[in-house]
């Protein structure tokens, strides 16, 4: 028996879901700007992270409404290397890629937004959209990784993971009990007597 795909969320629910996701991500971006300004080591990440979070909100809305842009058919021209201009530009700051790094950087306030996003992703309408539209799950994966949430999966991915055989760890050998220490001795084990 093949699992049936859940129905897509009603079109009336899509603007509300996209609006709520946009509000959570916009508030998270504002929190990032407020907190990272106080920490000089993270101040360079404010603009890239703000752009990333607002871009995810727009892509989420587009993925929910099935509006995808057609890709350009013409090949891109190969850029000519210009060492002088490349050396003068400051390097772009890269966002950290560790799991849950944003929650660790923001502390308890980051946990609050993580819980809000987790509650939104647990709703049946979002679950149905993620199961039916792979683009929605792909859009949300980077944000879920930043906030240490489980990655959203489509029905096919969840079925493939469930079908994989479970790995069984071999039993650990039992450790031999250490002999008790002789009272008043600094040596951890009792001395061994030699016979003969």
Given a contact cutoff of 8 angstroms between Cβ atoms, the answer to whether 111 and 103 are in contact is: yes
pLDDT bracket for residue 1 (50, 70, 90): very low
In terms of phi and psi (left: phi > 0; alpha: psi -120 to 50; beta: otherwise), the region of 66 is: left
Q: Where are the alpha helices (DSSP H) in 65-178?
A: 83-88, 101-106, 108-121, 124-132, 134-146, 155-163
pTM for the whole structure: 0.64
Q: Tell whether 111 is covered by a domain.
A: yes
- Structure tokens belonging to residue 45: 């990440």
Structurally, the chain folds into a number of domains equal to: 1
How much is the pLDDT for 119?
Answer: 92
Cβ atoms of 44 and 94 within 8 Å: the answer is: no
Tokens of 26: 């916009």
* Predicted pLDDT of residue 62: 87
For the cut 70, the answer to whether the pLDDT of residue 31 exceeds it is yes
Is residue 160 in some structural domain? Answer: no
Residue 1, in any domain of the structure: no
Q: What pLDDT does 182 receive?
A: 56
Collapsing DSSP to helix, strand or coil, 119 comes out as helix
| Domain, as residue range, for 141 | 13-68+95-155
Residue 49: partners with Cβ closer than 8 Å, 6 or more residues away: 29, 32, 36, 95, 102
- pLDDT computed for residue 83 by the predictor: 57
Q: Which residues contact 103 (CB under 8 A, 6 or more apart)?
A: 110, 111, 114, 146, 147, 148
Answer yes or no: is 52 within a domain: yes
Q: Do 128 and 8 touch, CB atoms closer than 8 A?
A: yes
- Percentage of residues of the chain with pLDDT beyond 90: 8
End-to-end CA distance of the chain: 75
54-109 per-position pLDDT tens digit: 888 888 888 887 755 555 566 666 666 655 555 666 777 788 888 888 898 888 88
């Amino acid at each position: 028996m093949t699992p049936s795909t859940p129905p897509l969320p009603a079109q009336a629910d899509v603007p509300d879901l996209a609006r709520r996701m946009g509000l959570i991500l916009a508030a998270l971006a504002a929190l990032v700007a407020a907190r990272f300004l106080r920490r000089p080591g993270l101040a360079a990440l404010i603009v890239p992270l703000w752009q990333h979070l607002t871009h995810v909100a727009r892509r989420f809305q587009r993925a929910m409404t099935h509006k995808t842009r057609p890709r350009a058919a013409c090949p891109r021209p190969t850029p000519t290397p210009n060492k002088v201009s490349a050396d003068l530009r400051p390097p772009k700051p890269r966002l950290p890629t560790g799991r849950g790094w944003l929650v660790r950087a923001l502390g308890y306030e980051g946990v609050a937004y993580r819980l809000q996003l987790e509650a939104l992703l647990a709703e049946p309408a979002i679950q149905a959209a993620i199961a039916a539209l792979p683009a929605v799950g792909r859009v949300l994966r980077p944000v879920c990784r930043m906030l240490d949430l489980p990655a959203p999966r489509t029905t096919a991915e969840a079925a493939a993971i469930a079908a994989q055989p479970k790995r069984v760890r071999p039993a650990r050998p039992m450790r031999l009990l250490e002999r008790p220490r002789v009272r008043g001795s600094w040596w951890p084990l009792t001395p061994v007597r030699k016979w003969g």
